[in-house]
Structure 1
Amino acid sequence: MIAYASIKIYTNETAQYEGQPLSTAIIGVVRSLRLAARTLVTRSFAGSYENGELATNRLVNASYDLPLVIEIVLPQAETQTILDVLNPMVADGLVTIEPLQLVAARTPSRVLLPNWLVKDVMTMHPKTGEIGMPLADAVKLLQDTALKCLPVVSPQNIPVGIVTQQDLIKRAGMPIRLSLLKDLSRVEQVAWASHVATLGLQDVMTRSPITVDRDATLDFAIKLMVQHDLKRLLVTGSDGELVGMLSRIDVFKVLSPAFMVKRADQDVDLSKGGVMQQVSELQQRDRLSVSEDECIETAIELLANEEVQRAAVVDEQLHLVGVITDARLLSAIDRIDSKGIFSFKRKEIPRVSDIMIKELVRVTEGDSLSTVLDLMIQNGLKRIPVVDAQGRFTGMIRRDSLLLALSKHL
């Protein structure tokens, strides 16, 4: 969730800035900066100042210089921008700042609050590699940090490329996805290490990656991700330097509390009113499935032919009973020999039902997309299977299809 902060200015009614009341001037400045900020001016009933002077609105000894509190609630990333402006404006008063815990952010007609910026949401200080970095070192870094991509920067920290898992597979001949490299046979690991020994990041990276300015609106960034079918955007500063990364999951973490508010034991669905759709309206899905009675060789062939990492498992009535993944298939294979990762040493080949994942998070056609969003965030999922009223499998919703649906309401 976006980190928020509260800036408060404790001043008085007579405080001025350039010929107008200070409170009016501050409201105008905050509006002009077009930040996702809310401003509140509170006039006190009574009070006192550091010099002991009393202020009251009682008719007897009435004061016309009552204390004012000007509060600005905004994303924490924007606080320095506001403070730089406020410091020369406040000639009489106190300026304080404190963090806030944002538990919900809602608007009746939009998915996002207006003026949320990329820098409010992005992941700061991403791991990077420089031109000339040996590819083997980059792969080790990705494995050690469980990352799926590595921005490539110049000595001046300007992004010049990005290396993704797909780049490694297509351009460096990586035989399997990063998380499963350790499951390759020793022979295959040595062979691939020898193949990449002379390669650097510049040999496999995607050049001229699409970037977004940190001061761009989140609306714009989401549309850019959808338009180019990107899982992430590199975020740059005013001089073009890399300052962060914005991924789909960063966006989802921000959106999740915008549609589901937990109050006691009751779930309040905020998707009603046309802002969000039901699962049944989302047709972009993965519909690949395999029977629970098939042998795992069939499942391996299915995943390999379709170039996917998972498939739903169904029974004879097409009820969803599990999910099979490439990781589960590999773990089911006995010690791998030099013939390759799909060589078996035992005669009895298990069935899909023997190794599938049975405990699943699933949704129904009648659930809202906000429910899907919350489940993805809570469980760290990239896909969620969907079933109809009878429990039959009707497809899997992916992060990219969910982001596309959300983008239509920006």
Structure 2
Amino acid sequence: MNTVKVGKVDDIKKLVQKYYPEVVELRRYFHIHPELSKKEFNTQKKIIEVLSTLKELNVRKAGGTGVIADLKGKKSGNGRTIAIRADMDALAIDDECDKPYKSQNKGACHACGHDGHMAMLLGVVKILYDIRDEIDGNIRFIFQPSEEEVADGSGADAIIKDGGLDGVDAIIGAHLWQPVKIGTVGISAGPMMGASDEFEISIQGKAGHASMPQQAVDSILTASEVVVALNTIVGRDIDPMKQAVVSVGVFNSGRVYNAIAGEAILKGTIRTLDEEVRKQVFIHIKKIVEHISEMTGAHCKIKKNTCTYVVDNDPKVTSIVLEAGREMVGHKAHPISPFMSSEDFSYYLQKIPGCFIFVGVGNHAKGIIYPQHHPKYDIDEDAMVYGMEVMSNAALKLLEKF
């Protein structure tokens, strides 16, 4: 049984090195066997299998295919509970990483780093379990399903509804992030990732023969004008000092080359870091679609689906996490600029204070150059060392200071 003193940097580092080889093996296992959102059954089974070796953990299934494990410190006099979260699901793309741990599940790939997130958190569980005699408080480990596919229900929301935040005072999470260089840990207060809204625009025109456009209402032409006009919102309708993204990712219309299509469907995303900007963007989308449709004689329907909120890091929690990070990696832990990507970690931050950090995995020397969601995406596995060090120390610091 270890007798490590809480907060001793060297001891945490030794435990990280002790478990690092196993963490690498786990990460590669998860990469070989990815599972899509709400289908993480074998992933859940593997996590429970690993956690079941730690007899004093309270482990249960949660949120459908997720897992929650509670560790009670032996010095649990203050009664505080800190949660640490990792996401579990893969993306619906084919893996092209060409490594021995390439995905064996066709149409599924851990191209966002969730394999590393799970492996890191399992490492953190073992590190903190080893020093449980010295922990004053409780730590909850959340393995959350369905982060990628939130339109049909966020995995974070499912965890919350299943009592995942009951009794929790603060929560932390980490993302392995390719735009950040290896060795760097980004820890910033305030808005760090964008709110995400999904929109669908249906343009109803009038079908006709391509040689007689005067008898038709061209839905493709109308939709094309809409797409062009939507790109003026960020540059002209929104305060240039505010950040926003409006992107159309789907344009479906027509089947026959010599016919004018009667319907066109557009689907896209809105990303914002400010709730007022979020409202204004959709108001402008609606105005553009309605005015262009009226001009061309088409009819339109617009739907919006809220996917995530802004990941807004609590200042007090973040200051403690940054202190913990600097104890482990020095000034390589520092604030960074926000990203317009989205994360359903934001659901937790709607309920309790927390901090989401970015662990750099980008390394050109090792060929780690492909961004998240690319079929060739991979990580520099050394980054998991930094992630485990910072999260382990941050949990202990939060129990002490928050």
Assess same fold via TM > 0.5: no
- By relative contact order (CA 8 Å, sep 6+), the higher-ranking structure is 2
> TM-score under structure 2 normalisation?
0.26
